[in-house]
Amino acid sequence: MLSRRDEVFKLLNSVNGKLTANDVAEKLQMDRANASRYLNELFKDEQIEKLPGKPVLYRAFTKEEAKPGIGSTQTAFDRLIGSAQSLKVSIQQAKAAILYPPNGLHTLILGKTGTGKSLFAECMYKFAREADMVSKNAPFVSFNCADYAQNPQLLFGHIFGVIKGAYTGAEQTREGLLAKADGGILFLDEIHRLPPEGQEMLFTFIDKGEYRPLGESQAVHTAEVQIIGATTESPDNFLLETFTRRIPMTITLPPLAERQLEERYQLIEFFLSQEATRLHQTIRVHRQALMAFLLYHASANVGQLQRDLKLACAKAFLHYKTKATNYILIEQDDLPIYVQKGLLHLKDEPEKMNRLIDVNKTIFKFYDTSEANDIAIEDVDDVYQAIQTKADQLMKEGKDQSELEEALYMDVDQYFHEYMGQLPTQQSAKEIISPEIWQLTDQVYALAEQRLERKYNEKMRFAFALHLQSTIERIREQKHIVHPDLNNVRKKYSKEFQAAIDISGLLEQALSIEIPFDEIGFLTMFLTEEVVESIFTQEALVEVIVMMHGRSTATSMVETVQELLNIESGTAMDMPLSVEVKAMYEKVKAKVQQLNPTKGVLILSDMGSLTSFGNMLTEELGIRTKTVSMASTPVVLEAIRKASLGRGLEDIYQSCQQLFENKYKAQILRTKPTKKRGHLHVFHRRRRSRTTEIPRGTRY
């Protein structure tokens, strides 16, 4: 799918004439500010022409006007977001590797998890076809060495091929990947998982263009294949020097943190447009949520950004299907805590943020672009369909909104907990799981209990049995299995991961199937997860925390109220303008942990980043919070008074809301536009945070 900038370029090339930024925004259904930015970027890169006048007109170069490489059809690399910025050097190296005579250079792509190594390799292949370095029907064969790293013979057999009888289980002669990639490109992902023996076999092929399948003793096979390898590790630590010497081109892809903020915005825009196209609906994103996605630290880079956006879209779609909203709207509390913490960095790049995100807008829209681009998005996973189907079923059963939300709530971090809690009873489970699976489950947990020296309850075994049954079906149907966070699981649960490797061997032998390496990550989770019932003790009072900008604003308010009521309830937290937002959040979090509230926390704040703290505290500490922004002394008085009487969090929150609304309405009635000394004095409604400004289901 084209990026939004590419769509603008394509539009200008498809029309015979000149367009304004408004024309482009209207035709492509995007914000005018974004359309203007993309047009200026294309002009700066000399891909389009800007005509003087008002309004400014833009047009594409004709074939006669175009300079070499300017205004011409874009290559596969040019369609990558960041091709003219952070990826520019990498793309130049890749083009050199493809164009090097006579058949290109073998290449190693380095980069952390999620930086886009597989996509970059595909772009190299497409560029090779565009440059006629390979034929138009040349193959591109992709293979992940990690899938079979635990079984070297199987791994070598996949790459080089197998002669019948080469090893136990080799029941027929099978062509290898080198033969399948003949005349094209073989992409070996996680090449560091290839054992030294396999590396030696591969560099022999690189030297001579010859190889022998496993079990072949005489005949030599030949192929013309360009090798592209990719790894997240340092080549010096895992690859033989004799092997790396034969790969002359090394390309390093930058992590997301090193890419420009403008590029991250384009990535967000691209991924949200993809989801909008899958849903065939516009996706709305609240300003706070959009800023969080722009600023948070995505440890797994672009891949994680895409997954986190998809999760947020799934949650927003869930709210929409359960009638909690009238449209698909992503809000701050739809985001995991680590994403919300991006808001703590608002002061880091204020100028860029203001340039990227219109300060006068609260809601940003991302559109279904399939009709404009005449494309179809393949829905590779059915998360939306699953939500739709279950929502329809539950609504037929007469479930109300809260029941629908609870039944449909999907969160990667909560997956195992919810999965365990919704398992069938022992009797119904045995009716749907085959005896073979039950027997294997017992063997698996006997091995796990011996290796890990811990006990697992029956419910855990039921969970594993259900998972194993569906896994076997997926493998036998050759459906791809991907674990979204495999590396972290491997590091965090190293003992369980090793046990899961042994268990995968047991399953492979018993079922005569090949367990993908990513599936081992899921097996690991069933060895680590425990069902724990949370027991909450009740304390007498809701904690009220007043947070205000300034050196003593909050303290003054709280002290005034305490003196009026003759009580000591309420906590004041001042934020001098010299204090960083992140430091303030950590200070507030420490105070909440010290207070140890079990009936919840009501946060009264004035404006800005302080209004976002509540959601983050809820996610990170597991406490209930409510936030009222633009709080005044009367609101603080009402909150502390009701809290001291033992009233509940929701009750206190609604009272403060009502007090604020009444005060606002009265002010509206009293205030009228008046002209004074040549100036128009108009009362402007002050904005509030998402918590109080846009309740779910409210139209804006």
Contact predicate 178/161, CB 8 Å: yes
pLDDT at 6 over 80: no
For residues 268 and 309, the answer to whether their CB atoms sit within 8 Å is yes
d(CA 162, CA 176): 7
Q: Which residues, other chains included, contact 539 with Cβ-Cβ below 8 Å and sequence gap of 6+?
A: 596, 597, 598, 599
Query: pTM of whole model > 0.85?
Result: no
Q: Which H or E run includes 200? A: helix 196-208
Among candidate residues 378, 394, 376, 397, the one with its CA nearest the CA of residue 386: 394
Q: Show the tokens assigned to 383.
A: 């998360």
CA 632 – CA 638 distance, rounded (Å): 10
Taking residues 253-275, what's their average pLDDT? 92
For the stretch 176-188, pLDDT in tens is: 999 999 999 999 9
| Cβ 307 vs Cβ 483: under 8 Å | no
DSSP character at residue 218: S
Tokens of 395: 């609504």
User: Rounded CA gap, 228 and 215, in Å?
Assistant: 26
When the pLDDT of each residue in the chain is averaged and rounded to a whole number, the result is 79
Q: How far is CA 305 from the centre of its chain?
A: 3
pLDDT band at 121 (very low <50, low <70, confident <90, very high): very high
pLDDT digits (tens, 9 = 90+) for 663-688: 655 555 555 454 444 443 333 333 33
Rounded Cα distance, 77 and 83, in Å: 7
Token representation of residue 373 = 């681009």
The CA distance from 528 to 452, in Å, is 10
pLDDT of residue 485: 59
User: pLDDT tens across 437-456, in order?
Assistant: 888 888 998 998 888 888 88
Tell me the pLDDT tens digit for each residue of 563-621. 777 778 899 999 888 888 888 999 999 999 888 887 889 999 987 778 889 888 888 88
DSSP letters for 255-266: PGGGS-HHHHHH
Q: What is the DSSP letter of 681?
A: E
Provide the token pair at 269. 């825009």
CA distances to 447, 464, 470, 504 from 508, rounded to whole Å, are 15, 16, 15, 6
First CA to last CA across the chain, in angstroms?
31
Q: Give the integer Cα–Cα distance in Å for 441 and 592.
A: 44
Q: In what order do the strands lie in the sheet with 185-189?
A: 140-144, 185-189, 226-231, 107-110, 249-252
Of 547, 582, 615, the C-alpha closest to 348 is 582
511, 472 contact by CB (below 8 A): yes
642's tokens:
């009701």
β 249-252/107-110 pair status:
parallel
Q: How far is residue 530 from each of residues 325, 412, 416, 455, 499, measured CA to CA in Å?
A: 34, 16, 9, 10, 17
Q: What is the pLDDT of residue 328?
A: 92
- Who's near 16: CB < 8 A, 6+ residues apart? none
How would you class 591 by CB atoms within 10 Å of its CB: exposed for 0-12, middle for 13-18, buried for 19 or more?
A: middle
pLDDT of residue 621: 85
- Edge-to-edge strands, sheet with 571-575: 571-575, 543-549, 601-605, 625-628
How far apart, in whole angstroms, are the C-alpha atoms of residue 356 and residue 354?
6
Catalogue all structural domains in the chain, each as residue range(s) with its CATH number.
4-79 (1.10.10.10), 88-253 (3.40.50.300), 267-405 (no CATH), 419-528 (1.10.1790.10), 543-693 (3.40.50.510)
Q: Which residues contact 401 (CB under 8 A, 6 or more apart)?
A: 322, 323, 324
